[in-house]
Amino acid sequence: QRQRIQAVLSTGPLMPVITIHREEDALPLAEALVEGGIRVLGVTLRTPQGLPAIETLSKRLPPEVLVGAGTVTDPGRYRQAESAGARFVVSPGITPRLLDYGLTSNAPLLPGVATVSELMLGYELGYRAFKFFPAAVAGGLEALKAMSGPFPDVMFCPTGGIRRDTAREYLALDNVMAVGGTWLTPEKQVNAGDWPAIARLARESLASCLG
Q: Which residues have CB under 8 Å from 138's CB, separation 6+? A: 114, 115, 132, 160
Interaction of residue 158 with ligand 3PG, rule CB under 6 A = no
Nearer to ligand 3PG by Cβ, of 68 and 160: the residue is 160
* Cis? peptide before 134, omega within 30° of 0: yes
Site string for ligand 3PG, 103-142 (x = CB under 6 A): ------------------------------x---------
Interaction of residue 16 with ligand 3PG, rule CB under 6 A = no
Q: How far apart are CA 166 and CA 189, in angstroms?
A: 21
Which residues 71-110 are close enough to bind ligand 3PG by CB under 6 A? 92
* Region near ligand 3PG per CB under 6 A, out of 22-30, 93-101, 146-154, 155-163: 155-163
How near is the Cβ of 162 to ligand 3PG at its closest, in Å? 6
Picking from 84, 152, 86, the residue whose alpha carbon sits closest to that of residue 123 is 152
Residues 182, 199, 205, 209: which binds ligand 3PG (CB under 6 A)? Answer: 182
Residues 13, 111, 140, 181: which binds ligand 3PG (CB under 6 A)? Answer: 181
Interaction of residue 68 with ligand 3PG, rule CB under 6 A = no
Binding-site size for ligand 3PG (CB under 6 A) equals: 12
Residues 5, 107, 160, 190: which binds ligand 3PG (CB under 6 A)? Answer: 160
Picking from 166, 164, 112, 108, the residue whose alpha carbon sits closest to that of residue 134 is 112
Residues 52, 161, 186, 193: which binds ligand 3PG (CB under 6 A)? Answer: 161
* Region near ligand 3PG per CB under 6 A, out of 3-11, 100-108, 158-166, 170-178: 158-166
Interaction of residue 166 with ligand 3PG, rule CB under 6 A = no
- Residue numbers of the site for ligand 3PG (CB under 6 A)? 17, 70, 92, 133, 159-162, 180-183
